Each structure stands twice: as C-alpha cells, then as structure tokens.
Amino acid sequence: MSAPGDTTPFRVDAAALLDEVQLFQERLATGVGLLRGLDKVTPGGTPREAIYREDKLTLYHYRPERPQPGLGPLLIVYALVNRPTMTDLQADRSLIRGLLAAGLEVYLVDWGYPDAGDSGLTLDTYVNGYLDRCVDAVSARHDGTPVNLLGICQGGTLSLCYAALHPGRIARLVTMVTPVDFQTPDNLLGAWARELDVDLLVDSMGNIPGGWLNWVFMALKPFRLTGQKYVDLVDLVDDPAAVRNFLRMEHWIFDSPDQAGEAFRQFVKACYQQNALVNGTLELGDRRVDLANVTMPVLNVYATADHLVPPSASLALAGRVGSDDYTEYAFRGGHIGIYVSSRARKVPAEIVEWIAARADVPAREETGLGKGGKKRDGKKRKKKGAKGGKKAKRKAGKAAS
C-alpha cells in the first residue's frame, strides 16, 4: 500500500515476486516431466460395435449392462463441426456411460471426416439421406419401432429438421444446446456468421478446413481459450488424472473435421443469415421444414452460460413445435460443461427419467425413473408459450460450468 503523498500507482514486492516466479518455474518443470512420462491419452473407451457404414459415416451401438425394457433405443446425432467423442470423453463424466447405466440402448452417428469428394453433400443428403438410413438401421434392430432421438448442438438442429419431416419415425425428441433462433441479440457467433461471404469462402476453398473453424470458435473467448487455460495447466501438475483430462479435452478441440462445402454454405445461409428454421422457410430437397410437425414429446436441454448457443437461441423452440408435451431443462453451466463438468453426470439421468415417464416403465430407485417421477434437485414449473396454448414444462437443474 502506498504511503500518504506517494504518487506511485502501485508497489511491487520484489522478493515476493521473485518467489512467485521461482515457484511457477518449479511447477512448470514438474509439469514438463509429468507430460513426458504420460502414455498416449485418447478420449472415449466405452465398448461399442459398428453396425452400419456408408461413405464416411459410421453408426455405433453401445449396449447397457442392464437393459431397461420399454425405454426404446436412443440415437445420438452430434454436430458436423466437431467429433462426437465429447459424449464419451472420460469415464467418470461420460454422457454415453450415464445413459447406459440407466438401461438405455444407445446408438451414435459418427459423421467421419469429409474429404474433397464430399464437397457437394447437402443438408438434404445429411438429413433425408444419411440420418434417415441410420434411423432405419436402429429401428430395424428393435422390431421397426420409432426411435428416441437426441440431437446435440448443430446435430439438434438437424434432428429437429428430421423430426419435422418424418414425425412418425421418432418416438421422443431431445435437443441439447441446440440453436433454433440464430439471430438473437446475444449470439456472437450468429453476428459473425451473418456478415460472412460464405459463397466466396466455399467457392474458393471447396470444403471448409476444420482447423479454420476451430480458430473461429476460440476467437469468441480468445484469452481463456488460447492462453489462460495453458497457464492454469501449471496448477494441475500434482494431479496426473486432471492432466490427462485436460489433454483429452485438447485432443477433442483440435480433432476438427473439415466441413462439406455445400452443406456448410446452406447451413450458414439458411440458418444464420435467413433464420429460416424459425421463420418457416427452410427447405431440404423439395420439402419445407415446419416445426409445427414436431408432434412427439420434446425435451429441450440448454446451458445457462453457453457462449456458442445462448439460452435465448435454444428457448425459441417453445411455442414453435406442435407437441403438447414440451419440457425444458436448464443446466447451469456452459456449452462444454454440460458434458464434462463435475455435475454433468446429472444430465443423462434427467434425460432417461424424462423418457421413462413417457414410456410407462417401472421406476429405478437409483435414478428416480418412472412416469411422474420427481427430481431430487432443481425446480419444475409450467411455462406458457407452447404452440396453440398447449402446456410446457421447465426444469431448472443445478450444475457447474
């Protein structure tokens, strides 16, 4: 603290600063040694079986140890712009493992890595082609019954399109951190995309490099995502497990597939620049996507601190679907925290509880499943705004970012 009359803005304790620098250097050296001694770190690890392949796509099946009869299969549709390994990044915080533990038969669409030969793929190809045939494959393994669909981020947008175009194929729809209204005032990514000359970009590059898109996403939080997290890594050097988890996340971040050029062009133009999904003007092939045709039960899971898909972008779904059974679940955290934060394990339990309540299956004591089952934390309240004045429910869950 400066003495009276001293105009020095602040004083530096040279000895304390030297001690801090020396401690940082020591921890940095310890960290380098730890990193050198670690085996290769890879995400995932939950056993799975490939049951269908087409072009770059692979459809995987995960079997629960204790299947819960009556729930029906769940098909996960991840975004095109990242890898679905985020759903199974580490064993103790795995969306897939949580779903399996509750008895669900889980299937996952892995879009693979598009190359130059895929530059002409369209959104119609992805939704009415690849995704439709994945639904066929899953349904065929379960006596032709409709499937539960879980769409994540951009995969949620694709799932909404599919459910609107093929409502009879889907038993229940779960959207997770899914953009619906792409032009909300707090959508920084949307503001950037609206000014993008996507025709020039695609015509010049063909496919869009995944690494380029990755830097766009990191530029939304540049200090945290390009610098501070590496400084913070020094504080983890005494915890090899935490370092491994950090490296798994880094592996996922930089494992970015290229984007099929034509599909990217269509998605940016239709969704970000024209907001066609909420305006009712989105067309895939020769068919218009009308959210009013989404008549199956809908669970909309959003993250309250999401910097990529703000809550307002997801909550726009209320009042636009035709379902009379629409529920919202608020995860108090961020776009990535919903999968890997300390309380992310609550999310799969919420999803399965919601499915079970609509499937007339017996409750499981450890998850609180069953029709009319109550949450152990969070609040449930009715919400106005579903299409035609129908009822909707909102759940507020507690979770860290």
Q: Annotated active-site positions, please? A: 153
Q: DSSP H helical segments within 166-290, as ranges?
A: 188-194, 198-205, 210-219, 222-223, 229-233, 240-254, 261-267, 276-279
CA gap 174, 146 in Å, rounded: 14
The H or E element spanning position 196 is none
The upper half-sphere exposure of residue 337, i.e. CA atoms within 13 Å in the direction of its Cβ, equals 20
Contacts 24+ apart (CB under 8 A), 215-220: 216/189, 216/192, 217/189, 217/308, 218/253, 220/188, 220/189, 220/307, 220/308
**Contact partners, residue 366, CB within 8 Å, separation at least 6:** none
* CA dist list (Å): 56 to 46, 250, 398: 21, 24, 38
